[in-house]
Amino acid sequence: MSTIFTQIVEGEIPARIVYEDETTIAFLDANPLAPGHTLVIPKDEYERVNDMPEDVAADVYATIHRLVPAVEDSVDADASTVAFNNGEAAGQEVPHVHCHIVPRFEGDGAGPIHSLFSDAETFDVADLDQITEDLSDDELDEIAADIESRA
């Protein structure tokens, strides 16, 4: 069964397509978080970022790189948040890799990505200490070494 995104790629579901090449396609999000909220996807279905072959991942990133300034300029945004929700536990609702380019504006109240783990309205970088306060230096060193060994 194909995802809603594959149905967009195949032309079965209409979308406001803003860019397309051999391996990627980008379109406006049907439920935008801000004007110009754009999704970039590989045309082939891969559920998670780590499922994409490296060449496809490079193509997806190249499309993101191309579109970020285009999206920001088109809606006169001050910045953008560029993010993947990688897996259901991270909030991924469609099991097809997709990158969000969300235009951001001064005073929009959304906060930085770190506010996902804190209150966006009252977020302060000092709050980050509370998020990881239970991890010792040894635990952090172990996590870093484990990631490095798997990369």
Whether 96 sits among the annotated catalytic residues: the reply is: no
Asked if 61 contacts 18 with a C-beta cutoff of 8 angstroms, the reply is: no
| List 37, 65, 96, 98, catalytic entry | 98
Find, among 87, 98, 93, the residue nearest to 43 by Cα: 98
Q: What is the 3-state secondary structure (H, E, C) of 83-145?
A: EECCCHHHCCCCCCCCEEEEEECCCCCCCCHHHHHCCCCCCCCCHHHHHCCCCCHHHHHHHHH
- Residue 74 DSSP code: H
Query: Nearest Cα to 43, choosing from 29, 22, 16?
Result: 22
Positions annotated as catalytic residues are 98
